[in-house]
Structure 1
């Protein structure tokens, strides 16, 4: 069909429905009534010759045609939004900008999002954040396609983008208070040989923990592989298992006490947590503002809270 027949508002409606998978929520997000949203969807269906969305439990689900259109529509809207923002200048207090950010572990949500949202609430109340989950190998392309604006984490293999180091971190062994073998060593840096008699949890979503265990020859000592960090305090607190995690994460988990750490000199123990973004959008005023804010909030050692 001819693009001249497409109303930009219909594309915004399509993106809102696709994102929220519920027409009423899409209508609320766009500030229109649900009947108006339904009428707009009917028009778009007629123009494209496809149902686009079908009823499903709790809302609607996209058709294959809608799935194929979704990324292109979102990218087009984002590019247009950025172009209009450039033309008007960037005012944090007035912008309605959406930033898509990638956290390289579930702990990133807990570490970065509260401070980001507090700062945004105070100085840029119209700004919205969306956390995305992309494979590291796809990030460079996603940056340049405006599918993601920033990534927080230790990403030494990521190429083709700009970065700002935020702080240095290191892996430590995390365990419960009273652990029969580790508690007497709490706060020390024992030799790596001290790990040979321990039993471990490994975190599947954080590949370095598995690599370190393998390099130390401790694979047979792994009793549990979990998908994320947030389950660790409950698991470690109830068992004699221990886990290799970043020191900044251990500090968050131990804010109320009840746990300890040791710092053996394990392979791959050091890392630099950085903010990454697209070279293509480096000079975008909104991108400059966000990275300056992030540097102000996080560019320090994780122990200077």
Structure 2
């Protein structure tokens, strides 16, 4: 009994460290907030350290908590691997999942995830959330969203990261663009065009960075906030846009636009799925992560 109690205390500590919230830790453990607070009190007494103090953004770990977290995190991981091997999720009944996607993800990745989810769990429902990069780690660790698929790096020890695919870039113009009519325009030809770029935290800053690097930034005519806006702007203008290749293949089928190879080398971007780490991740969330992996990972 003592060993089981100690393990529960370790799990409580790890969740408090990662979630920085008694409420969120209690939700993840399926217990009341007073139970978590009682466990924290036991830990403080046993270890002779405050461990966490309240700060403006939630609980702030002490230096002793910082020291303890890595080995205790490893111990929890090893235990959860053993437990999860004997735990299965049954997708046959009604179940609901949530996923965070950018506007690009809703256009390109969502149909693939939906197809895989429907094939495995016909009664499942899916809620799609817009991504806010600043709050994404908290939304994952607090259970507000089951998974996030994005290209910006979410650097948090509280999250599990699974690379899915890398994506390059192509140029896009109206189908009847008067000048860029072939598949391989030169850098000189591209430099004479006016451009539409996407600002913000989309994770695809490489496009406008390339324009700056190759001296085209003064020719930026329009700045928008969403990649999904680009085909509508481009199709009715003489402007040019640099877009992720997968999305370009999708919009060409539904908009009067055409794509072409870029004369400028642009570093491909990596798209990644993020979930909260165990403990706290349910068997259903682990199953849903595999749905995302199967639908998106290593696609051509």
TM-score with structure 1 length normalisation?
Answer: 0.62
Structure 2: how far apart are the matches of 1:74 and 1:281? 12
Q: Which moved more, 1:128-137 or 1:239-248?
A: 128-137
- Larger RCO: Structure 1 or Structure 2 (Cα < 8 Å, ≥ 6 residues apart)? 2
Q: Measured at CA, do residues 92 and 72 of structure 1 come closer, stay the same or move farther in structure 2, by a change above 3 Å?
A: farther
Match of 1:163 among 161, 164, 177: 161
Match of 2:89 in 1: 90
Deviation at 1:80, TM superposition (A): 3.8
Deviation at 1:134, TM superposition (A): 4.1
Q: Measured at CA, do residues 73 and 158 of structure 1 come closer, stay the same or move farther in structure 2, by a change above 3 Å?
A: closer
RMSD across aligned positions (CA): 3.2
Match of 2:8 in 1: none
Spell out the pairing of 1:11-26 with structure 2 (5 A cutoff): none
Match of 1:236 in 2: 234
SS in structure 1 at match of 2:171: strand
Match of 2:198 in 1: 203
Please state if 1:143 is matched with 2:128: no
Q: Measured at CA, do residues 212 and 282 of structure 1 come closer, stay the same or move farther in structure 2, by a change above 3 Å?
A: farther
CA contact (8 A) 1:137 1:158 kept: no
| 1:155-198 Cα distance to aligned partner (Å, 9 max, x none) | 235343222222221111111223232112x2x3x554432101
Please state if 1:113 is matched with 2:110: yes
Match of 1:54 in 2: none
The number of residue pairs the alignment matches comes to 223
Deviation at 1:79, TM superposition (A): 5.8
CA contact (8 A) 2:168 2:268 kept: yes
Deviation at 1:88, TM superposition (A): 8.6
Deviation at 1:296, TM superposition (A): 1.5
CA contact (8 A) 2:92 2:123 kept: yes
SS in structure 2 at match of 1:230: helix
Match of 2:149 among 140, 149, 152: 152
SS in structure 2 at match of 1:164: strand
Match of 2:225 among 224, 227, 230: 227
TM-score with structure 2 length normalisation?
Answer: 0.63
Task: Provide structure 1 residue ranges, at least 5 long, that are not aligned to the other structure.
Answer: 1-70
